Amino acid sequence: MTLQELQQEHAASLAAVAAATETAALDALRVKYLGRNGLIPGLVKQMKDVPPADRPAFGKELGAWRAAFEQALAEKTTAAQAAAEPTAAFDVTLPGRWRAEGVIHPVSRVIEEASDIFHRLGFTVADGPDIETKFNNFTALNTAPHHPSMDPSDTFWFDPELLLRTQTSSVQTRTMLANPPPVRIVCPGRCYRRDTMDATHSANFHQIEGLYVDTKPVSLADLKSILAYFAREMMGAGVGVRFRPHFFPFTEPSVEVDFTCHVCKGKGCRVCKNSGWIEIAGAGMVDPRVYEHVGYDPDQVYGYAFGMGIERIAMIKYGIPDIRYLYENDVRFLSQMR
């Protein structure tokens, strides 16, 4: 083969690569030119027959051809493989897929709103653990040693001193033990009681506790006014609020606070057991015995406390007829809470 023929073969091989589109055809070209019995290796073997004077030019051209051919083949193979990959069919006429949008759970929402309202009244948010000591949950709160609320049928006990808190009032104890007066806190959180589950009761529910203790006079009238303010902010101007005398070991005097039922607007329904009212909170003036337990001087301080059921508020605010909806996390329910 002359040098000129060699150059023609070189050009022909590159043209063949350029013309091939499929990987099978490119494979065949690789075998034809580079394979064990291929053209280029064959010519390398024939180098010894080339007249010595022509050999350098011949060898140079052969090397250039091989390099050019390999490069062209590699590039074309990559392109052919990419073209062979299935492209995702994209149907522009299909309706879009909507992602389900999350909502803030009504319990969290009430906690956030309530904390916000009390924040405007000067309360800061305090926190306490779910697992409490008997002292913080009961004894410091002036609960008599044999009070029925301490019974194992009402309270989840770990041992004689540790329990799952039955009320966020345990945070009152913690706050006063850790801080001198004045204190003005709210504490939202989980509570646990051995209740049977029904439309209005759960063994695990939420309360928000409030405590205001100061060295200057604080009265029951102050307590009533902030709870009435809270009711209007939370429920709207139309809500009715009533205070009934009650008893709690840690407040004296004590009241229970009812809001008008939002499901029936006070007419009477299943949710309010036909009374038109829903019990929302317990409250009262902090009992002097509590001050003694936490090291405050009962003669130097005045204060009130309250504790409200978060679920109760959520139920009347959003017209939820059964407390169990709040725990099932059924998206059909939650998506209505937008």
Binding mask 262-301 for ligand PHE (x = CB under 6 A): --------------------xxx-----------------
- The least CB distance from residue 311 to ligand PHE, in Å, is 13
Structure token pair of residue 330:
């059924």
- The least CB distance from residue 237 to ligand PHE, in Å, is 26
- The least CB distance from residue 217 to ligand PHE, in Å, is 19
What's the gap between Cα 139 and its chain centre? Answer: 36
Single residue of 164, 278, 305, 326 touching ligand PHE by CB under 6 A: 305
List Cβ neighbours of 279 (8 Å cut-off, separation of 6 or more).
256, 257, 258, 309, 312
Question: Integer distance in angstroms from the first to the last C-alpha of the chain?
Answer: 84
Name which of residues 153 to 182 contact ligand PHE (CB under 6 A).
167, 169
CA distance 154 to 145: 14
Is 29 among the residues that bind ligand PHE (CB under 6 A)? no
CA distance 318 to 108: 13
Single residue of 248, 259, 302, 325 touching ligand PHE by CB under 6 A: 248
Nearer to ligand PHE, 13 or 166 (CB): 166
Nearer to ligand PHE, 43 or 211 (CB): 211
Single residue of 230, 307, 310, 325 touching ligand PHE by CB under 6 A: 307
Nearest to residue 244, comparing CAs of 288, 284, 289?
284
Instruction: Report the side by side order of strands in the sheet with 131-133.
Output: 131-133, 162-164, 157-159
**Is 202 in contact with 193 (CB distance < 8 Å)?**
no
CA distance 259 to 257: 7
- The least CB distance from residue 219 to ligand PHE, in Å, is 15
Single residue of 205, 296, 306, 325 touching ligand PHE by CB under 6 A: 306
Single residue of 13, 142, 251, 260 touching ligand PHE by CB under 6 A: 251
Nearest to residue 283, comparing CAs of 262, 263, 308?
308
Nearer to ligand PHE, 106 or 307 (CB): 307
Nearest to residue 293, comparing CAs of 134, 186, 121?
134
Nearer to ligand PHE, 202 or 251 (CB): 251
- The least CB distance from residue 145 to ligand PHE, in Å, is 18
Nearer to ligand PHE, 16 or 281 (CB): 281
Nearer to ligand PHE, 43 or 314 (CB): 314
Nearer to ligand PHE, 13 or 155 (CB): 155
Pairing mode, strands 241-248 and 204-214: unpaired
Query: Can you give the binding site for ligand PHE, defined by CB under 6 A?
Result: 167, 169, 248, 251, 282-284, 305-307
